[in-house]
Amino acid sequence: MKTLKTIGVSFLVLAPILIVFANDDESSTDPRFDARVSELLASNMLKLSQEIGTTVLQDSDKTEIFSPLCIYSALSTLLMGANGQTFQELMNVLKINNDPYLSQNTWKVHEEFSLMIDDLNRDIPHPGRRRRPVFWTQNHQQNRDENKNQNQSYQQIQIANGIFFQNGYFIRDDYRSAIESVYKSTLQRLDFANKPELSSKYINSWVKEKTQNKIKEIISDPLSSTTKSVIASALYFKAVWERMFLEGLTKPKEFYPYGIGRAPIFVEMMATGGSYPFYDSQEFDCRIIGLPYRKHLTTMYIILPNNSTRQRLRHFQATLTADKIESMISKMEMKTAIILFPKLHITNRIDLKKILNRMGLRSLFNYDQSDLSLISTGIETIPYQESPFIFNRFAETESKHMTNETATVQSVTKRERRSAATFKTINSDFHTDREPLRLKDVVIKKRITKSYLQKKLIGRNRREVENISDQQMSLKRLDLLRTRLSSEHYPNPRLYADELIHQIDLTVNEVGTEGGAATVTTLRRSGPDVFFRAETPFLFLIRHEDTKIPIFYGAVFEPRNE
């Protein structure tokens, strides 16, 4: 049997001058999980999808597909390291400022998003993170769980973040710690200054590997020798239909880009039949049908405006909202249906810099305004020496930094030891050869005197500290650092993004045998409740049903590359 669906996506932000961006605990209750925050983040991602989609279609008349999950993940890594105006603009674009609790506790955004990403690859929902189910799936829960003890995996969703930075360029300890634990990021040193072509080749190879060879090259030209950092996000998705399309029925059929009655094009149209979630939305003048993947882990929703044309779809997209989409999905019911849907193979490359500028994210692209001071304090001037990981202590200036290494690529596996400006040690002549401070030294042995951060974060007993995860500690320390830097004069490292490039390769095809054609033939005779023919421009959304994360979103004007 052939694999039905393979999708690969990568996201990259390029800054030739300075930055380039781009065994579970099965306990009954996960104390980190917050159902309200999880639902809010999923809703925010869908709102971001709508806003990007609307902005893209203002100037485009071609098929535009993108990954909200991939974009949200990359922007979140920037949010974690942003301050000042850049931080506020990212909060607005990601819709976090709309919630009073999250606007004051940004660390929770990253912690909850990390749990959601962890749940993407689960064959059944995590028992300690129970979310509100989709209505139409509740009657089919048994079908989802009947094979849960089998070793077969029906879905793969791999999201990977990579941070590639110039040899000798300093990255804050807590930012690196949080990136590693929350987003499972790869940290690599590259020599952009002396070997830009080899650095570009390495990043392309990394993206190719993470997307299972779907995105073979995202950097077509060598990076500038002045590049200091690359932040990349890559996504790979693969799933099998709950009911496979029937290969024997795939035939060239008409598709009407400008509406029925106008000149058609011929595309390979697939066919299938059975029981599918469907809703005829008279209030929004469209129809929506769901094509579930195996075990209903993920669903492709197809939204087809009535009398659709290119112009009609653009207008429909501009008036559609995330709340309207959720409303339609909540009203879907299972109907017997015959479905005709075109085979898709779409590659798409979007310049997100222009789009995000229109959405209000402007300072990130301006050397004088960009503020990513939680990522780095700037280029170090003192040679770096390897040392073990230690409990991080904030400092306005860092004295131990990374060195320019002879190797072009080297994994970052250890933390640099640094002096502490915020804390004062008991022995004032603190040297690098002294035994490194540990968390228990701070809390129990009192080797560090009281300070701003100590009052805010470490004023608790030993048991309380031990119950806080390293991930949460790093995230909270970053929030405290943001507060401190906002009230003090500090040097801005002037990191900024010059380009944001988002690229996808999307394939949708059928899996099945000739023998399955009898199903559709029988439905034709008996008369289905719904005959759904995607033969005019439409929108589609691929969503993970447990977390409600939108994985892919887009408008299809023609089911082929344009």
Classify residue 283: in a domain, yes or no. Answer: yes
The span from the CA of 52 to the CA of 97, in Å, is 18
Tokens of 204: 């392309």
pLDDT at res. 380: 60
The span from the CA of 185 to the CA of 181, in Å, is 8
The span from the CA of 24 to the CA of 124, in Å, is 12
> Which parts of the chain register pLDDT below 50?
1-11, 13-27, 142-151, 381-467, 512-521, 562
The answer to whether residues 232 and 164 touch, using CB atoms and an 8 Å cutoff, is yes
Maximal CA-CA distance, the chain: 89
What number of residues does the chain have? 562
Classify residue 405: in a domain, yes or no. Answer: no
pTM of the predicted model over 0.85: no
Classify residue 23: in a domain, yes or no. Answer: no
Q: CATH number of the domain at 306, please.
A: 2.30.39.10
Q: Which residues contact 537 (CB under 8 A, 6 or more apart)?
A: 257, 305, 308, 309, 310, 312, 313, 555, 556, 557, 558
Helices 470-486 + 68-81 axis angle, to 10: 60
Residue 293 has what DSSP assignment?
B
The span from the CA of 40 to the CA of 178, in Å, is 22
Helices 106-119 + 173-183 axis angle, to 10: 30
Q: SS3 helix, strand, coil % of the chain, rounded to 5?
A: 35, 25, 40
To 5 degrees, how large is the angle CA 104–CA 551–CA 500? 70
The answer to whether residues 209 and 5 touch, using CB atoms and an 8 Å cutoff, is no
Total number of domains in the chain: 1
Classify residue 32: in a domain, yes or no. Answer: no
pLDDT at res. 503: 81
Instruction: Quote the domain boundaries for residue 305.
Output: 247-340+533-556
The answer to whether residues 83 and 50 touch, using CB atoms and an 8 Å cutoff, is no
Residue 437 has what DSSP assignment?
P
The answer to whether residues 279 and 333 touch, using CB atoms and an 8 Å cutoff, is yes
pLDDT at res. 142: 45
| Alpha-carbon separation of residue 309 from 269, 303, 304, 317, 526 (angstroms) | 18, 13, 10, 12, 31
Residue 282 has what DSSP assignment?
T
The span from the CA of 233 to the CA of 105, in Å, is 24
The span from the CA of 236 to the CA of 247, in Å, is 25
E-assigned strand segments in 357-447:
410-411
- Dump pLDDT digits (tens) for 185-213: 877 888 988 998 999 899 889 888 888 88
3 state DSSP class of 84:
helix
Classify residue 8: in a domain, yes or no. Answer: no
The answer to whether residues 45 and 94 touch, using CB atoms and an 8 Å cutoff, is no
Give me the residues paired with residue 268 across strands: 252
User: Which amino acid is present at 336?
Assistant: T
- Dump pLDDT digits (tens) for 61-71: 778 889 999 89
Classify residue 223: in a domain, yes or no. Answer: no
Phi, psi of 254 (to 5 degrees): -70, 140
Question: Which helix (H) or strand (E) element contains residue 36?
Answer: helix 35-58
Classify residue 85: in a domain, yes or no. Answer: no
Classify residue 307: in a domain, yes or no. Answer: yes
- 483: nearest Cα among 441, 422, 398: 422
- 499: nearest Cα among 3, 18, 1, 8: 18
pLDDT at res. 523: 53
Q: What is the DSSP string of 214-268?
A: S---S--SPPPTT--EEEEEEEEEEE-BSS---GGG-EEEEE-TT-BTBPPEEEE
